[in-house]
Amino acid sequence: MYLLQMGVGSLANVILFFYHISPILSGHKKRPTDTILTHIAVANLLVLLSSGIPHTMAAFISRKPLCPLGCKFVYYLQKVACSTALCSTCVLSTYQSFTLTPGREGRSWLRGGAPRVTGSFCCTCWLFSVLMYIYVPVKITASPNRHNYTDAQGDWFCSSSSPSAGIVVLWSTSDAVFIGLVVWSSSSSVLLLHRHHQRVRNIHTPTGHHRCPPETTAARTILMLVVTFVIFYAVSSILVFYITAFFDFRQWLIQTSDILVSCFSTISPFLLLLRDPRTARICS
């Protein structure tokens, strides 16, 4: 599963990155969301590598767990990348909702300066995540049973002491705020696109009657992204809560949790690429 996620997911995110970074570097016509999607692709790639490489090394290369420094780096990188992917997804959905809403003051200014504004917000997401999870390396240590390979209940890689209640509340609150903004902005965009489709369906030309209207395609893309993200995040959070609350550190639970964390990073680039109208033109 880890090899599949790393291979397929990393390839898709690399394609997504170069697909949206090329207009920025070449100076050709670019969309405002290109900058956001490049940050999402980098964050997704780091999530896949930080969770998949250690498990793959432990399974095929060496049975020894990671050293203390490796534990701190891997889990800190994973937390920062997951938080940045969530924050960047929030920036993407909020920006789309803001630009779609009619009569919004400053909308034309935002469209004109979108690459600069969205780039600043995405960089802020990285900085926010780095500072938010700076506490993680303090609590992560190497596995206490580094040379006991038969302990079925042992920590597979690293062990950590439970963070304080204030830190847990802070992390949970930030994630809840981002998820709430994603759901709210995406719901607003879908409702707006649906109302627009209801207004203009009577004036569609007969030649385009059998084609899917662009607003319907956009609404479906937003819905698929949000539903996929919320489902995997909710299931992963429930599993992590169970592991932490009941101190159940069985190996298959930890592995399943890490796989669920990486699922959205594997699936989301395919949704973004396959639902992009430019992809169809390039393939043609």
pLDDT surpassing 80 at residue 110: no
Domain boundaries, the chain: 2-102+110-148+158-202+212-283
pLDDT at site 226: 81
Distance between CA atoms of residues 266 and 276, nearest Å: 17
Is the sign of the CA dihedral 201, 207, 210, 214 positive or negative?
Answer: negative
pLDDT surpassing 50 at residue 56: yes
Q: Are 78 and 43 in contact, with CB atoms under 8 Å apart?
A: no
Max mean pLDDT range (45-49, 141-145, 240-244):
45-49
pLDDT band with cut points at 50, 70 and 90 for residue 147: very low
Q: What is the pLDDT of residues 185-197, one digit of tens each?
A: 888 888 887 787 7
Distance between CA atoms of residues 97 and 100, nearest Å: 5
Q: Which CATH class is domain 2-102+110-148+158-202+212-283?
A: mainly alpha
Please report, in angstroms and rounded to a whole number, the separation of the first and last CA atoms in the chain: 32
- pTM for this predicted structure: 0.82
Distance between CA atoms of residues 267 and 13, nearest Å: 9
Element (H, E) at 18: helix 10-26
Distance between CA atoms of residues 90 and 39, nearest Å: 12
Q: What is the pLDDT of residues 17-48, one digit of tens each?
A: 998 888 767 766 667 788 889 999 999 999 99
